[in-house]
Amino acid sequence: MWCFCFVIHRIKIIKRLRLLQFIYSYLLAIFVIAILPLAYVYFFKGLGLIPHFWTVFLMFAVLTFIVCFSTLFSNLKNPQLSVQVFLVATIIKLLVCMFFVPVYLSQYHVNQVHFLVCYFYLYLLNTVFEIYALLCNLRLQNLK
């Protein structure tokens, strides 16, 4: 009986470590994504960045965290539902990002090329991190 309790306790520790590993890799990814704009602001005084770029950066970072964390958390609780949670979270992220564009462009008149570069830089790199984080998690799940 004590052996069974030890195994359950060990599984809980491994699950917590996976979430901690995700949080560390998330913070590292956000730092890496922020390096290029920070260097651009430092060397070129931010001439090509859109107004409120760091607010947009924060929005993408929060959306990415919500999608990844909700998927990982649902995978820990019920692995059969993790795919549905991922799809719902991704659709919500996509809709928020789609509605963000007209709202932002109605508020601020910016150069379209600068907006596209900044927007897709943030969107694509955050999406790449989502795919990386979730593939690492699914790879661990398939080994069971």
Give the model confidence (pLDDT) of 47-91 as tens digits: 778 889 999 999 999 999 999 888 888 888 887 888 888 889 999
- C-alpha distances (whole Å) from 63 to each of 32, 67, 94, 126 are 17, 6, 10, 9
For the chain, give the percent of residues with pLDDT over 70: 82
What backbone torsions phi and psi does residue 42 show, to the nearest 5 degrees?
-70, -45
**Position 43 confidence tier, pLDDT thresholds 50, 70, 90:** confident
Please report where in the chains the tokens 């820990």 appear, as a residue. 76
Tokens representing 70 are 């909700």
CB 108 within 8 Å of CB 52: yes
- C-alpha distances (whole Å) from 41 to each of 14, 38, 56, 125, 132 are 41, 5, 15, 19, 28
Residues whose CB is less than 8 angstroms from the CB of residue 25 and which lie 6 or more positions away in sequence, other chains included: 129, 133
Give the model confidence (pLDDT) of 45-59 as tens digits: 767 788 899 999 999
For residue 119, pLDDT over 90 is answered with: yes
